[in-house]
Chains A and B, each alone.
Chain A
Amino acid sequence: MESQGVTAPARELGIPELSLVVLIGVTGSGKSTFARAHFKPTEVISSDFCRALVSDDENDQSATADAFDLLHYIAGKRLAAGRLTVADATSVQPEARRTLVALAREHDVLPVAIVLDLPERICAERNAARPDRAFGPQVLRRQRDQLRRGLKGLRREGFRTIHVLRSEADVAAASVTRTRLYSDLRDQAGPFDVIGDVHGCRAELEALLARLGYVVKRDADGRAAGASHPGRRAVFLGDLVDRGPDTPGVLRLVMGMVAGGAALCVPGNHEAKLLRALRGRDVRVTHGLAESLAQLDQEGPAFRAETERFLDGLVSHYVLDGGRLVVSHAGLIERYQGRASGRVREFCLYGQTTGETDEYGLPVRHPWADEYRGKAVVLYGHTPVPAPEWVNNTLCLDTGCVFGGSLTALRYPERELVSVPAARVYYAPARPFQPNPVAELAAPPRREPEVLDIGDVTGARVIESSYLKRIGVREENAAAALEVMSRFAIDPRWLVYLPPTMSPVATTAAPGLIEHPDQAFDAYRADGVAAVVCEEKHMGSRAVLLACRSPAAARARFGVPGEDAGALWTRTGRPFFGAELTALLLARVRAAAETAGLFDELGTSWLLLDCELLPWSAKAGQLLRDQYAAVGAAARSSLPAAVSVLEQAAARGLDVGELLDRTRGRAANADAFAAAYRRYCWPVAGLTGLRLAPFQLLASEGAAYHQRPHEWHLAIADRLADADRSAGADGELITRTRRVFADTTDPASAAAAAGWWEELTAAGGEGMVVKPAANLARGRRGLIQPGLKVRGREYLRIIYGPDYPEPGNLERLRQRGLGHKRSLALREYALGLESLDRVASGEPLWRVHECVFAVLALESEPVDPRL
């Protein structure tokens, strides 16, 4: 350490890096100066400053109550966010400190006292130098008396760290050192093998360690006294002791591993009780404690003492791997992670109980994991389960070894489970424990990880995605989405994805047109994309299809009870068809996927497909009749009549020629309009007449496919179509998507693709979608549009109205703003990808639903619907 060059010996004031530091000292003792010297300005909340904020005068004593309210409020916000906070007020009275200690406890941080007990003379001099502090000497004396009286009681008041500085030299020599909490091992990234409750089952532990690749070290008596692994560390989740046959053996092995740096260990409730018993406290000797004490008695006093030391040194929980992993015996809610308080320790040891007891006399546990929304993975034990089951990023690894279950470890970060069965039942559980996972599956599930909370979706929200950093959802849009989601959408467990909206190309100036492929090629070239694919746009309805290999596979993966083997939904999450027709359609797709060998090839029991479902009239029949056909009918009735009376008038020699021409033109436009919508209507009965055009495989087990080129996706779609046709089922259902590939940097190639578009649209086709051939693409400014639609001239009549191509109209219609639509398309695209990633990596339902819900909410943003 460097020499500080001060008169008094240098003194380090250690404080936990997350704490509430309470400065204590009379007026003029130099608290603010001290705070300025050792803390960031934003870390220090001073009562004077708060007084000024509420009253414009930092010495206005009548504002003191409000000023302290404000101080507590700000300090509370900072502590909740995990930031060290310094309360700069005199705090010489115990009641002033009491509220601060309570505040620290409320946020589960440690209260620290730094006392500036400087001679009264120095304080008086300093006050005298400040004209705004006209205190009489009696004020100073009273404060100093209060300070002196309170000093001895600080520890009793709850301060865990207390530093007292008694002179100006002390103050000058002091430096503040922030220390990590014992629980903070964020710098340790593993890999780890996290092991559930052992309960004295030493033989099983040795077997498990061997399976995990640890080499056990033995002492002179041949007893396991440690173990190590060349590249990994073990983490014990507590409850090493009690009930089982060899508690001392387990302790010896684990203590050896911890001492040798091969393992970490957190305490369980059984360790806590054993420690109290070893210290001679009065505890009820139940739950297997008697066996442990008897076994330890045979080991002699040295081992007992070593055990006591070991148990005493255990830290309630650890935060590991940059905050991504939390280990604790009974789990830990997000708010308590990396915090220190009595109740945090209680939670770690005993979990969250409701205070009630069940029919077996055991405490009823609050299902904290169902509500867990934290980012960190939480691994814990404490509650024996037949098989580990991920619940919202948490996993219980206590598989009841001592009750005849098994001893289980999770390899982290690989997330692989490794377990060894118990040699026998060592202890009869109070509550029936079912070690046979198959039998357990038949029973109703105890936990419902799929429970969605209204707080997961409502209000103004921000979603973090890997593709666009922060995507905001406004409250009113979330409200509309909540209504549609609740009243019309399918079960959220199926609804793992909603497709994004798509922007049209920039407006063309080409005569008679609003959209042309050239603008798409230009746009992608400008974004540095050369290879593009042009896919035929089927004029149907966007559909997302989830096809599972069997109803059992669907239940196992998506958790929806019943016999459905998937689902088919619209762009707002509504079912397309009733249960029966949906089942028929899913069966056809599943059969095609089997024939094509997709399930085996991709190693999955489900496929999520992005599709177009035709005809448009199958879903939008009502809209077609009420909105589109009605327009045609009105035009067909009124325009020929108008032409006829104009012809009569013209025959009389009246000057109505121009009006007649215009009216004839309108009649022709109306006919062309009707012809345009009729192309998208044909009768369907059951599956007959329906067409499904898959064009992208969104995800399957463990994988999302937005990085695969479109060629790959379309090849899969083709295989599905071929398999469906070869099956010889009634009529065509799965249909191919025609496409051409083009190079935006090659004018001939671009012109050929534009020619293809002209052919398609001249024959009445809707148009095409141009996409980067490689799929997900980024440009200089980040994510670029995943596709741009280029719609045909005739098709646009049903968008812009029958008369839109008339010159006077076209000019005005070209004035369209695409900015909002493009931004919306990108935001929805990013959310869609995020939800796919989350589904593929098996994240909890609420994390997936959050993205899906946000897409729906964004869809309710006001944007020109013609785009």
Chain B
Amino acid sequence: MLLTITTTLAPATDLGYLLHKHPDRPQSVTVPAGTAHVFYPEADPARCTAALLLEVDPVGLVRGRGGDRGRGGATAEPRGFSLGQYVNDRPYAASSLLAMALKAAFRTALAGRCEARPALAASPIPLRIRVPALPCRGGGSGLARRVFEPLGWSVAAPAVPLDPAVGGWGDSPYCDVVLTGEMRLADALNQLYVLLPVLDDAKHYWVTSDEADKLIRAGAGWLAGHPEKALISRRYLAHQRELTRAALARLAESDDTEPEELDDAVAASLLPDQAGEQAPLREQRRGAVLAAVRASGARRVGDLGCGDGALVRDLLAEPGIEQVVAADVSVRALQSAARRLRLGRLTETQRERVALFQSSLTYRDDRLAGLDAAVLMEVIEHVDPPRLAALERDVFGFASPGTVVVTTPNAEYNVRFEGLTAGAMRHRDHRFEWTRAQFSDWAGRVAARFGYQVSFLPVGGDDPDVGPPTQLALFRRAAA
């Protein structure tokens, strides 16, 4: 991976003093990921260019010998088995590895020190910086501009096509970035040091506790006033705690699928945050479900598809409820629920009130029998329609709680969400979203088949034209 720094300062060759690297002597520094080479392809008084070329050892990178111990490196998975590690862009794309090489090669310049030309080091100089393959994930050229322009750069960042030999694939996440402007060299280098990994936003980070300190040091003087400060800090400090790959990720891989494709049970909704409204929809939904459960007088309540346990916590706070049975099919969801509920720290009495375990609504599970009420909050839309019959049989037929509360999105309301593409669903994993008529049709059939009576409630404000954002069906088992 490559980065070039060009100046037209007079004399331009003073760049050698500022970088502490002699223009006529190529130098090499060993860094954890490989070898960083510094050399000058041009060194005239009128124009001087320094090149930093990092030669990555791709096999060593994967095998964790001499790999990057800092950010963005493959050693984030010390014993990991991921095909993505073997075939990845790290040897070519500017990332945290290049940022680290930058720091190793130009440590003094980053600190802004220059014994030979102290005044020059403190002054803005004309600079042209090129990073030919800079990943700008989640925004492409526009993101590069949003990040660099506020700092005073003029930015050219054409996107690199994904594969010109294959039709219709469009652009890659990489941009051929050229920054031009008058800037103190140390500032420019510090900005690159922080912003290369930020733009890269690689998937698996290994963040050490001193990363925040590093950000504060390197961001001195320019980050505080940056309009994208939030994005920069979040991405720079992004945490991915999973150090070993989950078994699920391996299944995705064996089926030529990205792990995120399957391991998305606790992924965020595609809905934009709705700041300013009275209460977020998810809170209103929990409130409505809680009200329904409360009204049923249930003492043993199941949260089937409990996700990260937000509702479980509410249910546990209810004095009338003796036990909450919380089940989900996703191991990741269960881990996150266990953390949220602080299961490890509950007293015995508290612990007895909650049973948290993996279950699947397409298999009969005796542990779900004997519930007074069961909640399926935003669950059914995650089940493929051909598999719904199994869910109906297992929940209404076998578990057969006295009360069943089902919520699901109202597809008609989607037009009211600004920022949601027309015709799109609210979550990547939704297999369907129903209109009110479709939901009531389904609920009616289920109720008739399994001996329940069903009524419907709006959740989140009943829009006169398109109905409520969430629809809720309340099933009560008919008296025998």
Residues of A within 8 A of B (CB): 356, 448, 451-458, 476-477, 479-488, 490-491, 501, 541, 560-562, 570-572, 574, 616, 619-620, 622-623, 625-639, 641-642, 644-649, 652, 654-656, 659, 662-663, 666, 670, 674, 678, 681, 683, 798-804, 808-809, 812-813, 856, 859-866
Which one, B51, B87, B165, B358, contacts A678 given CB within 8 A?
A: B165
Interchain CB contact under 8 A, B382 and A487:
yes
Chain B residues with CB under 8 Å of A636's CB are 160
Complex-state Cα separation, A866 to B255, whole angstroms: 13
Contact B363 A452 (CB under 8 A): yes
Instruction: Closest B residue to A815 by CB, please name it.
Output: B63
Q: Which residue in B82, B86, B257 is a CB contact (below 8 Å) of A801?
A: B86
Q: A638-B132, A647-B41 are in contact. List 16 more A-B contacts (CB 8 A).
A: A452-B364, A479-B247, A480-B247, A480-B250, A482-B358, A483-B329, A626-B258, A633-B133, A637-B176, A638-B94, A652-B40, A654-B40, A663-B55, A678-B165, A681-B166, A802-B87
A482 near B329: Cβ-Cβ < 8 Å: yes
> Known contacts being A487-B329, A648-B42, A649-B26, is A623 close to B360, with CB within 8 Å?
no
- Measured between beta carbons, the chain A residues less than 8 angstroms from B166 are 629, 678, 681
The list of the 10 closest CB pairs from A to B, nearest first, reads A648-B41, A480-B247, A633-B172, A620-B256, A860-B247, A634-B92, A638-B133, A486-B360, A637-B133, A645-B41
Inter-chain contact A860/B387, CB cutoff 8 Å: no
CA distance A761 to B399 in the complex (A): 57
- Asked if B238 is at the interface of the complex by the 8 Å CB criterion, the answer is no
17 inter-chain pairs at a CB distance below 8 angstroms, sorted by A residue, are A451-B364, A457-B363, A482-B358, A485-B362, A633-B172, A637-B133, A638-B2, A646-B39, A646-B41, A654-B24, A656-B39, A663-B53, A674-B163, A801-B59, A804-B58, A860-B251, A864-B81
Q: Do A485 and B360 contact each other (CB < 8 Å), given the known contacts A655-B26, A659-B53, A678-B165? A: yes
Q: Kindly list chain A residues whose C-beta atoms are within 8 Å of the C-beta of B93.
A: 634, 638
Interface string of B120-133 (1 = CB under 8 A from A): 00000000001011
Q: Which residue of A lies closest to B1 (CB)?
A: A638
Judge if B153 is at the interface, Cβ distance under 8 Å.
no
Q: Contact at A630–B172, with CB atoms within 8 Å? A: yes
Of residues A501, A562, A627, which shows the largest number of chain B Cβ atoms within 10 Å of its Cβ? A627
Q: Establish whether residues A809 and B83, one from each chain, have CB atoms under 8 Å apart when the complex forms.
A: no
* Complex contacts, A485 vs chain B, CB 8 Å: 360, 362
Contact A484 B261 (CB under 8 A): no
B residues near A (Cβ < 8 Å) are 1-2, 4, 24, 26, 37, 39-43, 49, 51, 53, 55, 58-60, 63, 79, 81-84, 86-89, 91-94, 130, 132-133, 135, 160-163, 165-169, 172-174, 176, 245-248, 250-251, 253-258, 261-262, 265, 329-331, 358-367, 382-383, 386-387, 389-390, 393, 429, 480
A594: shortest Cβ distance to chain B, in Å?
26
Query: Roughly how many angstroms separate A485 CA and B41 CA in the complex, as a whole number?
Result: 57
Report yes or no: A631 in contact with B59, Cβ–Cβ below 8 A: no
Expressed in whole angstroms, the Cα–Cα distance for A655 and B92 within the complex equals 23
Asked whether, in the complex, the Cβ of A635 is within 8 Å of the Cβ of B248, the reply is no
CA distance A487 to B264 in the complex (A): 11
Given the contacts A635-B92, A654-B24, A674 and B165 also touching, CB distance less than 8 Å:
yes
Q: Which residues of A contact B163 (CB under 8 A)?
A: 629, 632-633, 674, 678
Closest B residue to A866 by beta carbon equals B86
Asked if B172 contacts A634 (CB within 8 A), the reply is: yes
Tell me, in angstroms, the Cα distance from A678 to B389 when the chains sit together.
42
Is B174 touching A634 in the complex (CB atoms < 8 A)? yes
Q: A356 contacts which chain B residues (CB < 8 A)?
A: 480
Closest CB in chain A relative to B116 CB, distance in Å: 22
Residue pair A862, B81 in contact (C-beta under 8 Å) = yes
The reply to whether B53 and A623 contact each other, CB–CB distance below 8 Å, is no
Residues of A within 8 A of B26 (CB): 649, 654-656, 659
Tell me whether A486 and B329 are in contact (CB under 8 A).
yes
CB distance from B22 to the nearest CB of A (A): 11
Q: How far is the CB of A668 from chain B (nearest CB, A)?
A: 14
CB distance from B295 to the nearest CB of A (A): 28
Contact of A453 with B363 in the complex, beta carbons under 8 Å:
yes
Of A480, A619, A628, A655, most B-chain CB atoms within 10 Å: A480
- Smallest CB separation, B131 vs chain A (Å): 9
Are B165 and A659 touching (Cβ within 8 A)? no
Report the minimum CB–CB distance from A674 to chain B (whole Å): 6
Given contacts A625-B169, A809-B58, contact A670 B364 (CB under 8 A): no
Neighbouring A residues of B365 by C-beta, 8 Å = 453-454
* Assembly CA distance A479 to B411 (angstroms): 32
Q: Which residues of B contact A626 (CB under 8 A)?
A: 258
Find B386's partner among A491, A571, A802, A861 (CB 8 Å cutoff). A491
Bound-state Cα–Cα, A643 to B94, Å: 16
Q: Considering only CB atoms, which chain A residue lies closest to B391 in the complex?
A: A486
In the complex, which residues of chain B have a beta carbon less than 8 angstroms from the beta carbon of A646? 39, 41, 51, 53
Which single residue of chain A is at the shortest CB-CB distance from B43?
A: A652
Cα–Cα, bound, A458→B386 (Å): 23
Q: Is the CB of B87 within 8 A of A799?
A: yes
CB distance from A75 to the nearest CB of B (A): 26
A675 nearest CB neighbor, chain B only: B165
A74 CB to closest chain B CB (Å) equals: 27
Q: Which residues of B are found within 8 Å of A812, using beta-carbon distances?
A: 59-60, 63
Contact A639 B250 (CB under 8 A): no
Instruction: With A457-B363, A482-B360, A636-B160 as known contacts, state yes or no: A865 contacts B89, CB within 8 Å.
Output: no
User: Complex formed: what's the CA distance from A636 to B330 in Å?
Assistant: 40
B247 and A641 within 8 A (CB)? no
Give Cα A799 to B24, complex, Å: 40
Q: How far is the CA of A626 from the CA of B387 in the complex (A)?
A: 30
Q: Which residue of chain B is the closest to A682 with respect to CB atoms? A: B166
Which of B176, B362, B366, B393: most chain A CB closer than 10 A? B362
- A683 lies within 8 A of B92 (CB): no
Given A638-B132, A649-B51, the answer on whether A803 and B364 have CB atoms closer than 8 Å is no
CA distance A521 to B94 in the complex (A): 45
Chain B residues with Cβ below 8 Å from A808 are 59
Residues of A with C-beta under 8 A to B382: 487
B251 contact from A484, A630, A813, Cβ within 8 A = A484
Query: In angstroms, how far is the closest chain A Cβ from the Cβ of B234?
Result: 22
- The reply to whether B162 and A633 contact each other, CB–CB distance below 8 Å, is yes
The reply to whether B261 and A622 contact each other, CB–CB distance below 8 Å, is yes
Chain A min CB distance to B400 (Å): 12
CB distance from B198 to the nearest CB of A (A): 17
Q: A571-B255, A638-B1 are in contact. Are A454 and B364 (CB under 8 A)?
A: yes
Distance from A430 Cβ to chain B, minimum over Cβ atoms (Å): 20
B172 touches A480 (CB 8 A): no
Q: How far is the CB of B80 from chain A (nearest CB, A)?
A: 8
A649 pairs with B41, CB closer than 8 A: yes
* With A454-B359, A571-B255: A662-B55 Cβ-Cβ less than 8 Å: yes
| C-alpha spacing A860/B91, complex, angstroms | 29
Whether B86 lies near A634 (C-beta < 8 A) is: no
**A484: which B residues are within 8 A, CB to CB?**
248, 251, 262
Residues of B within 8 A of A656 (CB): 26, 37, 39
Q: Quick check: B331 and A483 within 8 Å, CB to CB?
A: yes
Whether A865 lies near B81 (C-beta < 8 A) is: yes
B247 adjacent to A629 (CB under 8 Å): no
Which of A491, A572, A666, A861 is within 8 Å of B255, CB to CB? Answer: A572
From A356, A476, A570, A635, name the one whose CB has the most chain B CB atoms within 10 angstroms.
A635
Q: Is the CB of B248 within 8 A of A641?
A: no
Q: Is the CB of A480 within 8 A of B165?
A: no
Let me know if A683 and B168 touch, CB within 8 A. Answer: yes
Distance in angstroms between the alpha carbons of A379 and B390 in the assembled complex: 28
- B-chain residues with CB within 8 Å of residue A859 when the two chains form the complex: 250-251, 254
B251 near A480 (CB under 8 angstroms)?
Answer: yes
Contacts of B389 in A (CB 8 A): 561
Among candidates A479, A681, A862, residue contacting B358 with C-beta atoms closer than 8 Å: A479
By a CB distance below 8 angstroms, the chain A residues around B40 are: 649, 652, 654
Q: Quick check: A476 and B247 within 8 Å, CB to CB? A: yes
Q: Tell me which residues across on chain B come within 8 A of A562, comparing CB atoms.
A: 386
Residue in B closest to A670 when the chains form the complex, CB atoms = B92
A456 in complex: contacting residue of B41, B329, B363, CB < 8 Å: B363
